[in-house]
Structure 1
């Protein structure tokens, strides 16, 4: 297949492109030379979507681009950057899909479990009524608009899959890479009460599930990209400490996170007990269902 990928040099995107190396891949990158070097010579790179009049030449588009949502405080400027980095490029892709005489048969576009808001310990599958979430919830607002824009690409010729992604766990990037240092020094522990759910997924399953959706013509709509066995933050923290053979007795109080991150602390202090009901019903089989096994696998292959 000929596949266009945005966000291809990121944590998930780079792993996905490695998995798709037998296909004809084009990535969108601000630094094409660096992208080709890091991803491998067969991968083509373009600097802007304006280089493409339409997407007739592509069989599929995978849209993973977006400013990291937790790296900085949510100032008005940072919120605008987070929104524009997702909505703008998605809108461009949708317009080019709709301008194509022979559009890609598949459009896979990012989202996140943050669309569900803070649902405490309620089990959430893809049928959860997201319209009941507070409009003041920033993560929900970002994802709802993001999905709405992407869904406009759907037609008889193009199916749309939306990736409601949880915390993707891998050794050399994402959330886990940032957690390792304090845990390695024995300073890890639960965040806040530790009762909030952590909807996690192993990087291998994230990548394999995207490939599964790409190769499953009947798949469309939103999918929770989370492992079947979500755990609370306390259980996750215990599993990580155990995998690293480190003590587990400290904790990060909620007020400290709020001081450091402001409103963005809500992503760590709140959570979603999200399960991949639709993905499993479609036939995907998870390699890593248990958090203890998943963390041990990641750290063993470091």
Structure 2
């Protein structure tokens, strides 16, 4: 299968590309710079899609980057890196005389309103009161295809992922040093849900989706089955125990607000309690269904 990946040079994209190749698929990456087995976003915008069977978009600026101030300019970078790249691919698929059978846009569980009590499945309504919920709503809206009579139908699948845990990128490696120095702890109350997924399971889910030619449902929650009950405090406890280090520190909510701002802080202080209902119904099985198994592997 020929697979085109937007943002394939990033943390998730590199792991996903390796898995695809190990399963015998051909991979082309959409990147800002041309290179071997790469094309640019400008190429796709001007020339359209190269021949491909599936397209997956992973492009997006890191919303929780603490080194980036939450300015109007950074908000526009976040919006552009997600919505505009998605729109470029959507328009290219609509114009293609031989469109791919599957179009996967990887968004986030921030689609659901922040809540410590509400449980969300793929059938739940999205939020509209906060910036991140609106961002994911518009992001997924940009992926909607117009379609055309007489052309093959492309299956759109929206994969909403939680916190992606991996050894070579994302938040996990950044957490290890503070915990090893006994400076680990919780944000706010620690009771907020912690929707997470191991990177191997996310990449396997994306493979599962395109190998089934998108016939897995239009929306999939990419979170571990145990994430519906896991909290931030649970993650802290599991990581602390695995490292053999105490983790007593508490970062109060006001400090999180000051560091990340009112638009980003709810992701850390409230979170979403998410169920991978349709993901499991599609026949997908998780290698790392709980925090203990995931953390043990990540530290191995």
TM over 0.5: yes
Corresponding residue SS for 1:161: strand
The residue aligned with 1:192 is 188
The residue aligned with 1:225 is 222
The residue aligned with 2:235 is 236
1:29-108 alignment to 2 at 5 Å? 29-33=31-35, 36=36, 44-50=37-43, 53-55=47-49, 57-71=51-65, 72-108=68-104
Q: Distance in 2 between matches of 1:227 and 1:73?
A: 31
Task: List, as ranges, runs of 4+ consecutive aligned residues in structure 1 with deviation greater than 6 Å.
Answer: none
Unaligned runs of 5+ in 2: none
Q: Distance in 1 between matches of 2:25 and 2:61?
A: 27
Does structure 2 retain, via aligned residues, the 8 Å contact 1:56–1:100?
no
RMSD: 1.5
The residue aligned with 1:5 is 5
Q: Deviations over 1:143-180 (max 9, x none)?
A: 00011111226675100111101000011210112211
Q: Distance in 2 between matches of 1:291 and 1:278?
A: 21
Does structure 2 retain, via aligned residues, the 8 Å contact 1:153–1:160?
no
Counterpart of 2:122 (choices 105, 126, 139) is 126
The residue aligned with 2:244 is 245
The residue aligned with 2:14 is 14
What's the TM-score, normalizing by structure 2?
0.92
Q: Distance in 2 between matches of 1:214 and 1:185?
A: 42
Farther off after superposition, 263-272 or 6-15: 263-272
Corresponding residue SS for 2:186: coil
Q: Distance in 1 between matches of 2:245 and 2:147?
A: 49
Farther off after superposition, 224-233 or 70-79: 70-79
Corresponding residue SS for 1:201: strand
Does structure 2 retain, via aligned residues, the 8 Å contact 1:197–1:271?
yes
What's the TM-score, normalizing by structure 1?
0.91
Corresponding residue SS for 1:190: strand
The residue aligned with 1:261 is 260
Does structure 2 retain, via aligned residues, the 8 Å contact 1:55–1:104?
no
The residue aligned with 1:41 is none
Q: Deviations over 1:217-239 (max 9, x none)?
A: 32231110000001011111111
Deviation at 1:261, TM superposition (A): 1.7
The residue aligned with 1:113 is 109
Residues 238 and 153 (structure 1), Cα distance of their counterparts in 2 relative to 1, 3 Å cut: farther
The residue aligned with 1:211 is 207
Q: Deviations over 1:95-142 (max 9, x none)?
A: 110101110100011110000021212221101122xx2x33111011
Corresponding residue SS for 1:247: coil
Q: Distance in 1 between matches of 2:298 and 2:115?
A: 29
The residue aligned with 1:140 is 133
